[in-house]
Amino acid sequence: MGKKRNNENIFLFIIGVGNKKVLESLIVAGAFDSIHTNRAQLFEVVDDAIKYGQQINKNTSKDQINLFGDEEKLIKEPELPNIEEWDNQDKLSKEKEVLGLYISGNPLLKYADTLEEISNYDFTDKTHLKEDTLIKIGGAISSFKLHYDKKNRPMAFFNLDCLGGQVEAIIFHESFDKYKEIINDGNIVFLVGSSSVQNQFADLKIKVDEVVPINHAKEVLKIQEMNIKIASNISKDKLNEIHALATKNSGESPFIVHLMNEDGSMRRIVSKKVRVSINNHFITMLKDLIGESNVWVS
């Protein structure tokens, strides 16, 4: 009886809305999740439910049926199709397509560690970015638009939605021809390119040279990491010395601090502000400062 009553609630909602496009958008956006969590089933039954609602309305106007009453129905209530729910990625992609934003989650969170380790741009850093600065940044492609250059060759404009902001990207024919198969809305990728003239309409604007799927980013783009291990009770003076050394040796490599707590547990911290150039002099200076066993490259 519970399942039967639940279906009645679903069809009452659907009948109340009526418009197919509006219904599909509401389902995709999760508006019916409180009464039925399988969006795929609801999406597939929309046409049958609307027809059912039209028949119900027609007959009730003639007093031929008691809507959802105990009397025998003259019109058969449609069955929800026996299909699996959309996977989380599909669900989120459909939300973004309909609403322009994610409601039930963000697909990028699954890759947060990789995005943080490999990206060399921080949206919270408000310093002026020079033109033609090398940029490596990951996110989800959106707002793809195909264009043609003066020689009638395909190129493209698109956005990259990142955890901290949005990138406005342009990719010219030579690079587009290499990566066109993976430049699709919703795909999570890393872009490698150079910064172009910035404007107030985008957090970051770049010319794209390379596009790497997120699952291959570590293999293709991963660079060496500088690691140090320090105790949580390290002196402020020594911390300042470490910071000064790292700042003097700025570069492209992530600077990772392994912080040992008093209970012996370890916390891994990837510096968002400091990236370093790994060289023998820098490594030697760090080892002299905090001990040889507390410094390594991975």
3-state SS string for 146-188 = EEECCCCCEEEEEEEECCCCEEEEEECHHHHHHHCCCCCCCCE
Residues 6+ apart with CB under 8 A from 47: 20
Q: What are 101's strand-pairing partners?
A: none
Q: How many helices (H) and strands (E) in the chain?
A: 9, 9
H or E stretch covering 45: helix 39-60
Beta strand 226-231 with 295-297: parallel, antiparallel or unpaired? Answer: antiparallel
Q: Where are the alpha helices (DSSP H) in 120-255?
A: 173-179, 217-221, 236-248
Q: What is the pTM of this model?
A: 0.56
CA–centroid distance for 161 within its chain? 7
Instruction: Give the tens place of pLDDT for each residue, 193-220.
Output: 998 876 666 789 999 999 999 999 888 8
Instruction: Give the tens place of pLDDT for each residue, 43-69.
Output: 887 787 777 777 766 665 555 545 455
Which domains does the chain carry?
2-99 (no CATH), 110-221 (2.40.50.140), 226-297 (no CATH)
Would you state the torsion angle of the CA atoms of residues 169, 171, 172, 178, taken in this order, to the nearest 10 degrees?
A: 180
Task: Select the more confidently predicted residue: 124 or 229.
Answer: 229
Dist. CA 62–CA 50, nearest whole Å: 19
Q: What is the mean pLDDT of residues 29-46?
A: 77
Q: What are 193's two structure tokens? A: 């390119």
* End-to-end Cα separation, the chain, in angstroms: 60
